Amino acid sequence: MIKIYTHPDPGFTQSNLLKKKLYGALVKMICCYLFVLLPVLASAQTVITGSVKDKDGPIIGATISEKGVKNTTSTDLGGKFKITLKGSSNILIISYIGYKTQEVTASGTINVTLQEDLNKLNEVVVVGYGSVKKSDLTGSVSSVKADDLNLGGTTSNLGQAIQGKAAGVQVQQSSFAPGGTISITIRGGNSINTSNSPLYVVDGFITDNGNQINPNDIDDIQILKDASATAIYGSRGGNGVVLITTKKGKIGKVAVDADVSNGYQYLTYHPSLLNGQQYTDIQNATAIEDGKPAIFPSNFPLANTNWLKAATQNATVQNRNLSISSADKDSKIYVSGNYLKQLGVLKNTSLERYTARIGAEKTLNENLKLGANFYGASSNSTLQSYSGDITAPLFSLLTAQPNIPVYNADGSYYVYQGKNNALASLLEPTNKSGSKLINGNVSLDYTLFKGLTYHLGAGSEYSQVTAGQYTPRTLVAGKANGGIASEQMSTAFRWLVENYLTYKYNFKDHAFTLLVGNSNQRDVSELLNAGAKGFPTDVFLYYNLSAGSTAYSNNGYSAYGSSKSESSLTDYYGRLNYAYKDKILATFTLRDDASSKFGSNFRHGIFPSGALAYKLEDEDFIKNLNTFSSLKLRVSYGVTGNDRINNYQYLSTFGNYSTVLSPGGALQVGIEPSSLSNPNLKWESTAQLDAGLDMGFADGRINATIDVYRKKTSDLLINIPIGQWWGFSTQLVNGGAIENRGIELGINTNNIRSNSFSWNSSFNISYNKQKALDLGGIKTISSNTANPSGTVSGREFSRLEVGQELGMLYGYVYAGVLKTGETYSPQPNSKAGDPKYVDVNGDGVITPADQKYLGNSNPHYSMGFGNDFHYKGFDLNIFIQGAFGYKLFNMNRLVLESTTSTDALNRFVAGKNENTDIPREGYFLSTYGGYVNSRFVENASYARLKSVSLGYSFPSSLFQHIKIVQGIRLYAEAQNLVTVTGYKGTDPEVNVHTGNTSGGLDFNSFPAFRTFAFGIKVSVH
């Protein structure tokens, strides 16, 4: 049966009823879908915008992450960001290196101001084959950031950039010549005959040229000092390790940064010299006193020449640096170029250098990361001899008689008594040096599974150094030999492959990090040299040796020669880091090195270390003090090595030998043994104990580190005398020991921090005392000066014995001048005006037995004190550096006092000037004592205003309409502005004797100078 229903409204039909039901159903369906989908749609389409800044303005490259999901972006050039939410937490995490991380609720527009994180313990620092949080370090490591480096002016290498910046690191600029020698020693020297320089590792590549890196490319330096930190480098870690990380791109748009500066250098060494008349009078008076006729007659054409002034100049330095960088969340790239040109304050000296660097990183996925670094450098130098002897041009300039002219009337050099014109000795010779360096390394990091990462690093380095010299006919030697030319070229090639696995595992309160790896290295070096004389013209210089008529040995090289040397090193290493509740930390390291440099009996060396650390700040008894924001106690012990010896030292090597076998016969060429073999030769080993305390105060605004250490280096590589029946006088063996003890203190403070003004300070000071414990049976090791004049031989000035330090100065004790009528029994044959010496041993006569130690030439204390001020757009940096507790032998003063210095005006003259301590005719003619005496051994302690820089950064608001310009900074800088010292020589840092046992000699060193530089930095994005 079918029932039919009717509507009470006669106008309502069945069709209308059906439409109404369909409409209702559709509305309900839409509502259901909206109820389900709207939250999803809302979540997927929620876009959050905002900005991130600090007290100074927008932060570029700050990271914005959505909590709980993989969703990240970064701020642009204006500090602004946009992020589309993907999760449901509605929480954003804002972070940037050096600032405290913030979490904010995601809604609408967000404006965040980050606060600087004064607690540096959260920083990640690079260690050997890895990185750790600074708070988790168990070893002694000093960090130097890019902003803390001494840059600008004449800074051309790493040593200049870090001088005074790290406790326990002694940097000495032994020559102020352009590109001059810099020595870096960490916690005192360990060796007598091998290098005391640290190992350099740049972006994971071990290099012998790390000190020559462009300082502007450096992002971070970690200096590993104790055995816990350096043992991972085994046989090469004994002298400390310098880890350099170069710059990479920062997140944001492509950034172009240019830094252009010009500087001016002014001589600071101004010895008081006699004028022509004074010199003539003294020379004549001395001759007459000796019963001889006057040297210069009354009609002598008197001149008045200041030779040093004629040879020096106010020199310029140009520095140009350009870098291009960019990065996103997966990629980083940095490209830089640098040009440096420095003219020396001594004429005919200069340095011109070009460098280029490319650094890149690419994260292909969450498991694979690639890296590459390439560096190239080319430099050319005009050199002079800066050796501590009378052949150096500076000797001629300082001692040249001022009563003769520089030039003849026709413009040619004035020559007196057949000797070289002093200025010609500087300007006429050709002495050029060029170097080329290229290295590159690539790396791969692959996560095999959670916690386990494999690293592969491979790289190579090639360096070439060429040098050429030519002595023209305008000089005496050149005229006599028809011109003298020589050239040398050395090359070095290295390849290095590193493989290691890193496994990280956490279990409840325990955290483990295990590292195991292998390293393989090979080095090849070659040397080629040739020399000739008798050229038809001076035009060829040293570029056409075949034009010379005769082969000729010059500059310490044979007339012609060549050599090749190879070595290899294979290593296996491991390290375990353990942490319990992030409170108790332990590090254990073991490395096995095998080197071709040592004999088969001791080719392998094992180098272990261990360290413990205890974070005390969370302990109740420390909390109750309300003093420390952080406190960590460290202790470490380990053994490291030093393999810095020449190749094949354990073998009996052979050299050339030529002789005539019969009268009138031809010269026969052969070979003969040149050294005695020693298959038991092995590494020098340094055992070091270190205890340290890391402290933080005032919520990290004040941080201090104290370290106390003791190093003992055993099995020193030393040449000991042997019986002549072996055919040799000495043999290289392992014998002897040296000890270094010291204490270091470093303090960093944030003194004032406000919206418009900030003031930060850093201070470090270190003390090191060295002692020879054993010299392998040798009683003394002596070093001599060079000849102080053409008629006087060199004398012992430095001596090492058991119980003494390396570089101890040794000589007579000066007691003044013998007066008229005075009788001094220890010098019975001396006459009035002669120097007088102390009878040290009291035997009644002055003999060599009266010599004694006069002081150490290695500073016991070194310090650095820096202050950074920022006020609105202005910045001011003041840095003071110093060294204390050491002496130098001022040989320049010794020579000048009896030749051309105004000190000679106060010399002893019988009956006229007897109240003086300056002898009548110097120190060379006396039959008693010697010229190495306490009068010229001076306290060289100094404090130097190393650098002052003042800059102004224009406010960003000026560039709102020039969007590509991010910033402009103008700056002025002064280097070596003021030096407070009692030392009277060239400079308290100089040292022309570079041997480990014979430092502390100031003789004909390149003169010191101060620099003023002005520059502009422009950042374009």
Q: Pinpoint the alpha helices (H) of 540-664.
A: 620-623
Distance of CA 630 to the CA centre of its chain: 31
| Two domains, one topology: 47-113 and 124-248 | no
For residue 206 the two structure tokens come to: 């071990």
Domain locations in the chain as residue ranges: 47-113, 124-248
Residue 130 CB neighbours (<10 A): 15
Distance of CA 131 to the CA centre of its chain: 22
Task: Tell which CATH architecture fits domain 47-113.
Answer: Sandwich (2.60)
Instruction: Report the distance separating Cα 39 and Cα 792, nearest Å.
Output: 98
Handedness of CA 19, 20, 22, 27 (dihedral sign): positive
- What's the confidence (pLDDT) of residue 2? 35
Residue 634 CB neighbours (<10 A): 23
- What's the confidence (pLDDT) of residue 79? 82
Residues 6+ apart with CB under 8 A from 63: 72, 73, 74, 93, 94, 95, 96, 251
- What's the confidence (pLDDT) of residue 33? 46
Distance of CA 333 to the CA centre of its chain: 26
Instruction: Report the distance separating Cα 205 and Cα 217, nearest Å.
Output: 15
Q: Pinpoint the alpha helices (H) of 377-475.
A: 393-399, 422-427
Distance of CA 865 to the CA centre of its chain: 18
Q: Three-state SS for 883? A: strand
How distant, in Å, are the alpha carbons of 39, 705, 859, 878 from that of 766? 65, 11, 10, 20
Instruction: Report the distance separating Cα 810 and Cα 117, nearest Å.
Output: 53
- What's the confidence (pLDDT) of residue 542? 94
For residue 80 the two structure tokens come to: 């602004």
For residue 679 the two structure tokens come to: 């298959």
130 beta partners: 127
The pTM of this model reads: 0.87
Q: Three-state SS for 507? A: strand
Instruction: Report the candidate in 253, 248, 249 with the shortest Cα–Cα distance to residue 80.
Output: 253
967 and 953 Cβ atoms separated by less than 8 Å: yes
- Write out the E strands in 715-825: 717-721, 730-734, 737-753, 757-774, 781-784, 796-800, 808-811, 814-817
Rg (CA), the chain: 36
How distant, in Å, are the alpha carbons of 58, 107, 744 from that of 692? 39, 48, 9
Instruction: Report the distance separating Cα 833 and Cα 921, nearest Å.
Output: 8
Q: Pinpoint the alpha helices (H) of 553-712.
A: 620-623
Task: Tell which CATH architecture fits domain 124-248.
Answer: Beta Complex (2.170)
Distance of CA 312 to the CA centre of its chain: 27
Residues 6+ apart with CB under 8 A from 480: none
472 and 540 Cβ atoms separated by less than 8 Å: no
- What's the confidence (pLDDT) of residue 14? 45
- What's the confidence (pLDDT) of residue 15? 47
- What's the confidence (pLDDT) of residue 384? 82
The DSSP output letter for 554 is B
- What's the confidence (pLDDT) of residue 926? 87
Residues 6+ apart with CB under 8 A from 2: none
């370090």: which residue's tokens? 137
- What's the confidence (pLDDT) of residue 54? 81
Q: Which DSSP string corresponds to 58-85?
A: E-TT-EEEETTSS-EEE--TTSEEEEE-
Q: Three-state SS for 905? A: helix
Instruction: Report the distance separating Cα 770 and Cα 742, nearest Å.
Output: 9
- What's the confidence (pLDDT) of residue 40? 43
Residues 6+ apart with CB under 8 A from 356: 335, 336, 337, 338, 375, 376, 377
- What's the confidence (pLDDT) of residue 45? 60
Q: Three-state SS for 289? A: helix
Q: What tens digit of pLDDT does each residue of 260-297 get?
A: 999 999 999 999 999 999 999 999 999 999 899 999 99
567 beta partners: 523
Q: Pinpoint the alpha helices (H) of 679-765.
A: none
983 and 989 Cβ atoms separated by less than 8 Å: no
Low-confidence stretches of the chain (pLDDT < 70) are 1-45, 56, 77, 98, 117-122, 994
For residue 451 the two structure tokens come to: 């916690």
